[in-house]
């Protein structure tokens, strides 16, 4: 019998959380890796180090500069 792993839910980001980076402030220090800034393609991005999925919260207005 194979074991199925459940994917962790995505971290939802609001406008105040941008620019997006990982590890995020809620992650424990022991699980840290080098900080990497994420480019949110189509409203989401996956960390290349730990695989955490980040997603823009529905209804969030992202302002450009």
Give 8-51 pLDDT, tens digit per residue: 789 999 999 999 999 988 888 877 899 999 999 899 999 999 99
Give the pLDDT score at 18.
92
Q: What DSSP line would sit under 5-65, residue for residue?
A: PPPPPPEEE-GGGPSPEES-TTS-GGG----EE---BTTEEE-TTT--EEEEPTT------
**Domain locations in the chain?**
11-56
63 near 15, Cβ under 8 Å? yes
Q: Is the pLDDT score of 60 beyond 60?
A: yes
Whole-model pTM: value is 0.78
Distance (Å, whole) CA 43 – CA 33: 23
Kindly give, in sequence order, each residue whose CB lies less than 8 Å from that of residue 57, ignoring residues fewer than 6 positions away: 12, 13, 14
Instruction: Quote the pLDDT of residue 49.
Output: 95
């Amino acid at each position: 019998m194979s074991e199925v792993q459940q994917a962790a839910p995505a971290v939802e980001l609001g406008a105040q959380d941008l620019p997006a980076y990982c590890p995020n402030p809620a992650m424990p220090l022991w699980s840290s890796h080098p900080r990497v800034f994420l480019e949110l393609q189509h409203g989401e991005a996956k960390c290349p180090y730990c695989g955490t999925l980040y997603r823009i919260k529905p209804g969030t207005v992202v302002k450009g500069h």
